[in-house]
Amino acid sequence: MFFASDNTGPAHPKVLDAIVSANAGYAPSYGRDPLTEDAADMVRDVFEAPDASIHFVATGTAANSLILASLATPFDAIHCTACAHITEDECNAPEFFSGGAKLRHVQDEHGLMDPAALASALGSHDPRSIMVPQKGPVSLTQVTETGTLYTLDHLRTLTDIAHSHGVKVHLDGARFANAIAALGCSPAEMTWKAGIDAVSFGGTKNGCLGVEACVIFDPSLSREMELHRKRAGHLFSKHRFLAAQMKGYLSDGLWRDLAQRANAAGQRLAAILRAHPEARLLHEPQANMIFVSLPRRIHKVLIAAGANYDLHGSLKTGSDEDHITARFVCDWSATEAAINEFATLLSSR
């Protein structure tokens, strides 16, 4: 019963097979190999963006931070929500790699940025003043860190506001595939057709060993991205092993299939939790991530029986009737047996 994170699950065998296949013979280093070019072309095909520049890195933090460093100056404010992954989970990496750009929080509801608040935040910048951060890019997270989804119309509204103020928009897509599977749209529709300028296309949470694609739709930014990646130490010497993962991930639509599996497991788990009389869902789960509040006594039983999930509170102090929030995330490998076991355990409490 492992529901702590989609980072904790295994890599898919087809991804591992692709790495083994890449481990034959010799290949040029630092991304100059044919396999890397093939994988980049596959990403371009997925996004229907033949002119996009594609840059592989090993972690989501690197992908987000290096893209934002390419979109922002050290003097800028990067606009995001308070619960954005770049705010809560990246140890100031965007600020570090951008040379000092400040994260400025924009009001959200259930993790979704409010358009009026974004318009107000961007409109409040005084371009004549050198005393304050300058107007910089917008960063959106899809799936959000609360498990909710931006609709295509919501994305377009936000990007239109950003572009009207002369700033670019980055999409943090650590769970990009889960969002695509849930919305039933194409990658192009959720990115450049909706006004997104660059996206971190995640693979690590969805069956890869460790690879993310930085997809930049304006090729004029490619050179700067290359320099940021190299200076940051994220240009692998044996780059083909990153590319091999992406090639295996994209082949035969594996990336979509794995996301659909994770989402289906997440929705089943959400239904089980929703049906319990003492469970309180904090947000409407729309993909593979669920936030729920349960009494401490129920958490104690679940965890003692082997349920593994992210608990936002202590089991040791406080009343057994106090509610504690928990996060459940299903990955592609979540089994029906594990979910059934959890359902039986929960229903008995």
Residue at 193 is within a domain: yes
| pLDDT for 200 | 98
> How would you classify the pairing of strands 134-141 and 76-80?
parallel
At 307, is the pLDDT very low, low, confident or very high (cuts 50, 70, 90)? Answer: very high
Q: Quote the pLDDT of residue 124.
A: 86
* 248 touches 15 (CB < 8 A): yes
Q: Examine the domain organization and report whether 276 and 197 are in the same domain.
A: no
Q: Is residue 341 part of a domain?
A: yes
Nearest 5°: the CA angle 154, 280, 116 is: 25
42 and 191 in a single domain? The answer is yes
Could you tell me if 266 and 224 lie in one domain?
A: no
2 within some domain? no
33-43 tens-digit pLDDT: 999 999 999 99
Q: Is the same domain home to 180 and 227?
A: yes
Task: Examine the domain organization and report whether 105 and 58 are in the same domain.
Answer: yes
pLDDT at 261 over 80: yes
Average pLDDT (148-157) is 98
Q: Given 190, 220, 253, which residue is the final one in a domain?
A: 253
Does residue 7 belong to any structural domain of this protein? no
Same domain? 98 vs 195:
yes
Residue 276's beta-bridge partner residues?
none
Mean pLDDT of the region 297-303: 96
The domain boundary residue, chosen from 197, 231, 253: 253
Range of the domain at 54: 13-253
| Whether 143 and 175 share a structural domain | yes
| The pair of three-digit structure tokens given for residue 47, joined into one six-digit string | 């996004």
Mean pLDDT, residues 283-294: 97
Does 74 lie in the same domain as 126? Answer: yes
Domain containing residue 271: CATH number: 3.90.1150.10
For residue 145, is it within any domain?
A: yes
Query: Does 36 share its domain with 181?
Result: yes
pLDDT per residue as tens digits for the range 100-139: 999 999 999 999 999 999 999 999 877 778 888 899 999 9
Is 73 in the same domain as 215?
yes
- Residues 121 and 229 placed together within one structural domain of the fold: yes
Question: What's residue 237's pLDDT?
Answer: 96
> Computed from CA positions of residues 12, 283, 157, 103, in that sequence, does the dihedral angle turn out positive or negative?
negative
Is residue 3 domain-resident? no
Q: What pLDDT is attached to residue 348? A: 84
pTM assigned to the model: 0.96
**Tens-place pLDDT, residues 178-212:** 999 999 999 999 999 999 999 999 999 999 999 99
Structural tokens at position 2: 């492992």
Q: How far is Cα 155 from Cα 145, in angstroms, rounded to an integer?
A: 16
Look-up of token digits 């460790």: 210
- Calculate mean pLDDT across residues 57-72: 97
Residue 241 domain-assigned (yes or no): yes
How far apart (Å, rounded) are the C-alpha atoms in residues 83 and 159?
A: 19
Domain count, the chain: 2
| C-alpha torsion angle, residues 103, 109, 111, 116 (rounded to 10) | -50
More confident of the two residues 133 and 309: 309
239 and 275 fall within a common domain: no
Over residues 78-100, the pLDDT tens digits come to: 999 999 999 999 999 999 999 99
Q: Is the pLDDT of residue 349 over 90?
A: no
Virtual torsion, Cα 80, 246, 176, 58, nearest 10 deg = -30
pLDDT, the chain, mean: 96
Token pair, residue 343, equals 């359902």
Distance CA 73, CA 223 (A): 15
Report if residue 284 sits inside a domain.
yes
> How much of the chain, in percent, has pLDDT values that exceed 90?
95
| Mean predicted confidence (pLDDT) in 290-307 | 96
Which residue among 253, 284, 304 closes a domain? 253
pLDDT tier at 305, thresholds 50, 70, 90: very high
